[in-house]
Amino acid sequence: MESHINTFNFKGDPNVGLYCLSTNSYVIVGEDISDEKIKILESTLRVPVIHTKIYGTPFAGIFCTGNSKNLLVPDIIFDNEFKTLKKKLNGIAKVIKFKTNKTALGNNILCNDKSAIISEEYTDAEKKFIEKNLLVKSIKSNINEGSPGSYGVLNNKGGAFGQIISDDLIAKYEKFLKIDIGIGSVSSGSPIISSGVVCNDNGFIISPMSTGFESGRIDECLGLIKWYIKKWMIYRKI
């Protein structure tokens, strides 16, 4: 069985979450990578990899947010980039421009296929736009006055947040999201989980600077290790 965990870097930068957005239907990569690295992404996350810059930058993980159904991009995206995304995601997910001053959508909107935690700085009208176009329910919430997408990652099985989050906020998020949430770190102690993790329901990519304990903790928080143990037992017919 192929591993559901891999390490990765972009031209030596271990902050994989800045360059990548992953869902259960696709992965958006903002930086040119080798065929070998594309294979790593595809074998770990098990969805097609799509490459395009966003606003002329490689930071797809910062500027984009989405789930398996739809992808939101800021309206500052260049026309050729938008056309590329629409063409490559045709039949997979809908690509929608979002006009907002909070253009770092990946930092400000944390979502899975059912729910979203969004920055408190979004207006009520923007909140409705997000819900309508991602087909989710949402709540406004910051983490220690910071954007929710910076400190956590979600899939449909669980969530992982940095140590900066409070116990009360964990309880609030678990009640809203209806999934278990855990605390962890990446890159040998960083609480900015999203900078070092790219995940979906199939697996995750983690910063190569992360320790084995950090990787194992993320695995547990995202609800993947239990699922893969069960799958392994079925595979081995135990």
- pLDDT computed for residue 7 by the predictor: 95
- pLDDT computed for residue 225 by the predictor: 81
How far apart are the C-alpha atoms of 55 and 61, rounded to whole Å? Answer: 12
Ranges of the chain with pLDDT below 50: 227-236, 238
- pLDDT computed for residue 234 by the predictor: 40
Task: Please answer whether residues 60 and 17 qualify as being in contact, where contact means their C-beta atoms are separated by less than 8 angstroms.
Answer: no
Q: Which tokens in the block code for residue 187?
A: 């890159």
How far apart are the C-alpha atoms of 69 and 200, rounded to whole Å? Answer: 13
In terms of C-beta distances under 8 Å and separation of at least 24 residues, what long-range contacts does 207-211 make, across chains too? 207/7, 207/8, 207/9, 207/14, 207/15, 207/16, 208/7, 208/8, 208/9, 208/14, 209/14, 210/7, 210/186
Which of 234, 144, 141, 154 has its CA nearest to residue 201? Answer: 154
Tokens 């070998």 sit on residue:
36
pLDDT digits (tens, 9 = 90+) for 181-217: 999 999 999 999 999 999 999 999 999 999 999 999 9
The string of DSSP letters for 153-182 reads EE-SSEEEEETTS-HHHHHHHHHHH-SEEE
Note the Cα 194 to chain centre separation in Å. Answer: 7
How far apart are the C-alpha atoms of 17 and 215, rounded to whole Å? Answer: 15
Task: Please answer whether residues 161 and 151 qualify as being in contact, where contact means their C-beta atoms are separated by less than 8 angstroms.
Answer: yes
- pLDDT computed for residue 144 by the predictor: 86
Which of 213, 214, 96, 218 has its CA nearest to residue 154? Answer: 218
- pLDDT computed for residue 51 by the predictor: 95
Tokens 């700085």 sit on residue:
121
User: Positive or negative CA dihedral for 57, 26, 124, 168?
Assistant: negative
